Amino acid sequence: MRQLIDECAPLIFRAVSDIGITEEQILSLLGPATDTRLADVAMPCHSLAAIFQKPPVDVSEEISGLISTFLEGIALTSSMNGFVNLKADPAWLSARAMKLLPDERLGVSKEKPRKVVVDYSAPNVAKEMHVGHLRSTVIGDSIVRMLEFKGHDVIRENHIGDWGTPFGMLIEHLIDIGEDDFALDKGISDFDQFYKEARSKFDNDEFFANRSRSRVVLLQSEDDDTLRLWRVLVNVSTSYFNEVYDMLGVLLDDRDLMGESAYRHLLPQVVERLEKSGLLEESDGASVVFLGGKWVNRKGEPFPVMIRKGDGGFNYSTSDLACIIDRVERLSCDDLLYVVGTPQKQHFEMVFEVASRAGLMQNWHNAKHVNFGSVLDSNGQMLKSRTGQSVKLVDLLKEAIYRADESISEKNPGLTENDRERVSKMIGIGAVKYADLSTDRSKDYTFDWDKMLSFEGNTAPYLQYSHARICRIFSLSPLSRADVKNANIIIQTEEEENLARCIVNFSEAVDNASSTFHPHKLCTHIHSTSSAFASFYEACPILKSDDHTILKSRLALCDLTARTISTGLGLLGIQSPEEM
RNA sequence: GGGCGUGUAGCAUAGCCUGGAUAAUGCACUGGCCUCCUAAGCCAGGGACCGCGGGUUCGAAUCCUGCCGCGCCCGCCA
């Protein structure tokens, strides 16, 4: 309840300045109440007790008595157990809620724009997309949407794995099976098989392995025919990625592609600049940077960042440094976000450290590894398919849609074929995304079909259902959504009060989620809102209320709730069906 | 061996950054509520030495420290 604190703090200070409490003390003590039944905002007075030489209970009572008239119309004041408790006055809540009625943004402010590069998704060419890419794609998409909503200039970058030594064997395998067949067959089928066949030939066939190695050299020297074959692999892969992105409903498209190949001409420059800054050292024939400090290997010896391998090739640290140069110098970005799994934490720490020391980015650049945990099955193991392979993303999405379709067919047989198909896609995909986004991204997450597709609990279908219910109410209502924009919101019941409180707090939830890149904070808030709505819906007749002003007021709350849910879900990349 | 992370009811999680009251939510469980706007819902209830031990503090799930369990990383893969 940031808004309530902001409004109350100066008034409290005015009320208590006589007894010698400073504004700093008030601001540091005021905070969200832990017990939300008692208060929205609380001020513990235990630390003041020592100063006044009185028990905390007496201090809180005294302060409560002094401030209550100053906060009239804003918050209701009480005291208990040494706490001053402030509960938002229903009149204040309704005034705040009414302000949001004509506001498309539901009170969410825009910030001073920063230019933010978000690096996410990053599938590999000629490889299947799996659940790891799902997390990066879904989390990245949501972060992009939140940052754009907050007014930032966001540049999406899909750093696909489209360069490097594996492409020797992939191109040779492509030649073997014939490129025409490949392009025709591979549309949305099995890349894993293609990759595995290539790998197997590389490992078992010395002649093939030698061809592959020569092919890498040709690729790196940009031989025309080799590049042409390489493009076949890239094009078929990216059109496949696009099909998956389309199915997922994320913002990524071809314009966002910035694969590793895009940085290959910058790699020698990285070496040059590190050399010039004196960071580069030779070690066992390779060029490396030793950072010292906590970065030591098993034997306690310094552990380096590999810049140029002994064979003259570059690897991923070099490529990431080239990316930083490009993003800082060509794009002039302020922030660099990397939506990549937690296992690569150390890698990014080291790369950022090298980039800073080499002056590739400045203090005011904010480079952040937006890490995420692994996807586990119900046994706490990394999620695998029945055959022990990593799960193909398309299969997973298809199953989600299929399962959603089954549920809807059973629960609402009245839907037309067309609507059912459209809605099952929204629900199935929404369920997968929400399950991923609703827990702290930095922790591992447990994948569970039944839970994510359940229409109960903290799931997308539950939230979508709340939204659909409200749309249904308006379809039966004498007043339209537009008609209630000027409504006088009257809060009479506890359920109306709780709902209004959720609606008013939406902007704060968006700010918390976007500033920390933690979408689950937004999920938690939308779920509370939905839950408050369900209670309101049971307790407060809407269309059946006999008083027209109450009807209008409650419909206004419905409108705000629906927009809170759909805007919130929208920021998570999830659609809100109007019926389901 | 070093580094990083993690441990909260039967299960899945939030709260930890920035210390406050009887630790929150969902599933599951128990008991209620459909001639009434979608019961895909609501209401009520039981269930937790917040991994273990120390420390700091008026006050610790939260901060510090030591253990224990689990996971990831530690030179030419990305």
Domain stops at, among A201, A220, A249: A249
Q: What is the mean pLDDT of residues A351-372?
A: 95
Statement to judge: residues A277 and A227 lie in one domain: no
Residue position matching structure tokens 């950072």: A291
Statement to judge: residues A226 and A347 lie in one domain: no
Greater confidence (A315 vs A488) lies with A488
Q: pLDDT digit string (tens) for A66-122?
A: 999 999 999 999 999 999 999 999 999 999 999 999 999 999 999 999 999 999 999
Statement to judge: residues A130 and A201 lie in one domain: no
Q: What is the mean pLDDT of residues A193-211?
A: 90
What DSSP string describes A1-65? Answer: -HHHHHHHHHHHHHHHGGGT--HHHHHHH-EE-SSTTT-SEEEE-HHHHHHHTS-HHHHHHHHHH
Model confidence band, residue A384 (pLDDT cutoffs 50, 70, 90): confident
Statement to judge: residues A139 and A229 lie in one domain: no
Interatomic separation, CA of residue A62 and C1' of nucleotide B2, rounded (Å): 55
Residue A489 within a domain: no
3-state secondary structure A334-376: CEEEEEEEHHHHHHHHHHHHHHHHCCCCCCCCEEEEEEECCEE
Q: pLDDT digit string (tens) for A262-311?
A: 999 999 999 999 999 999 999 889 999 999 888 888 888 888 999 999 88
Statement to judge: residues A186 and A276 lie in one domain: no
- Residue A187: is its pLDDT beyond 70? no
Q: pLDDT digit string (tens) for A508-528?
A: 999 999 999 999 999 999 999
Q: pLDDT digit string (tens) for A393-452?
A: 999 999 999 999 999 988 888 889 999 999 999 999 999 999 999 999 999 989 999 899
Statement to judge: residues A127 and A189 lie in one domain: no
Interatomic separation, CA of residue A297 and C1' of nucleotide B4, rounded (Å): 14
Q: What is the mean pLDDT of residues A325-346?
A: 96
Statement to judge: residues A178 and A157 lie in one domain: no
Interatomic separation, CA of residue A36 and C1' of nucleotide B22, rounded (Å): 13
Domain stops at, among A216, A249, A282: A249
Statement to judge: residues A119 and A29 lie in one domain: no
Task: Report the percent of chain A where pLDDT is more than 70.
Answer: 98
Residue A535 within a domain: no
Interatomic separation, CA of residue A538 and C1' of nucleotide B43, rounded (Å): 10
Residue A135 within a domain: yes
- Which nucleotides in chain B lie closer than 7 A to a protein CB? 1-7, 12-15, 17-18, 20-22, 25-28, 36-38, 40-43, 58-59, 61, 70-78
Model confidence band, residue A188 (pLDDT cutoffs 50, 70, 90): very low
Sign of the four-CA dihedral A99, A105, A111, A112: negative
Radius of gyration from C-alpha coordinates of chain A:
29
Identify nearest nucleotide to residue A83 by CA to C1′ distance. B21
Range with the poorest average pLDDT among A19-28, A385-394, A419-428: A385-394
Q: Which residues, 6+ apart, have CB-to-CB distance to A240 below 8 Å?
A: A186, A187, A188, A191
Residue position matching structure tokens 């750093």: A159
Interatomic separation, CA of residue A502 and C1' of nucleotide B50, rounded (Å): 27
Statement to judge: residues A145 and A207 lie in one domain: no
Domain stops at, among A249, A272, A305: A249
Distances (CA, A) of A522 to A91, A507, A564: 26, 10, 11
Residue A214 within a domain: yes
Residue A97 within a domain: no
Statement to judge: residues A138 and A277 lie in one domain: yes
Statement to judge: residues A335 and A296 lie in one domain: yes
Report the number of distinct structural domains present in chain A.
3
Residue A572 within a domain: no
Identify nearest nucleotide to residue A520 by CA to C1′ distance. B14
Residue position matching structure tokens 């067959």: A185
Identify nearest nucleotide to residue A474 by CA to C1′ distance. B37
Interatomic separation, CA of residue A111 and C1' of nucleotide B16, rounded (Å): 27
Identify nearest nucleotide to residue A122 by CA to C1′ distance. B78
Strand partners, A130: A392
Q: What count of other Cβ atoms lies within 10 Å of the Cβ of residue A381?
A: 9
Mean pLDDT score across all residues of chain A: 93
What are the phi and psi torsion angles at A454 (to 5°)?
-70, 145
- Residue A254: is its pLDDT beyond 90? yes
Which residue in A84, A66, A86 sits closest to A4, CA to CA?
A86
pLDDT for the residue A115: 97
Statement to judge: residues A227 and A135 lie in one domain: no
Residue A536 within a domain: no
Residue A428 within a domain: no
- For residue A382, the 8-state DSSP code is B
Interatomic separation, CA of residue A305 and C1' of nucleotide B58, rounded (Å): 50
Identify nearest nucleotide to residue A343 by CA to C1′ distance. B72
- Residue A238: is its pLDDT beyond 70? yes
Q: What is the mean pLDDT of residues A356-363?
A: 94
Which amino acid residue lies closest to nucleotide B57, measuring CA to C1'?
A47
The parent domain of residue A279 ranges over: 115-161+260-375
CATH code assigned at A141: 3.40.50.620
**Could you tell me the two tokens for A394?**
């398309």
Q: What is the mean pLDDT of residues A228-240?
A: 92
Q: pLDDT digit string (tens) for A114-166?
A: 999 999 999 999 888 988 899 999 999 999 999 999 999 999 999 999 998 89
3-state secondary structure A111-135: CCCCEEEEECCCCECCCCCEHHHHH
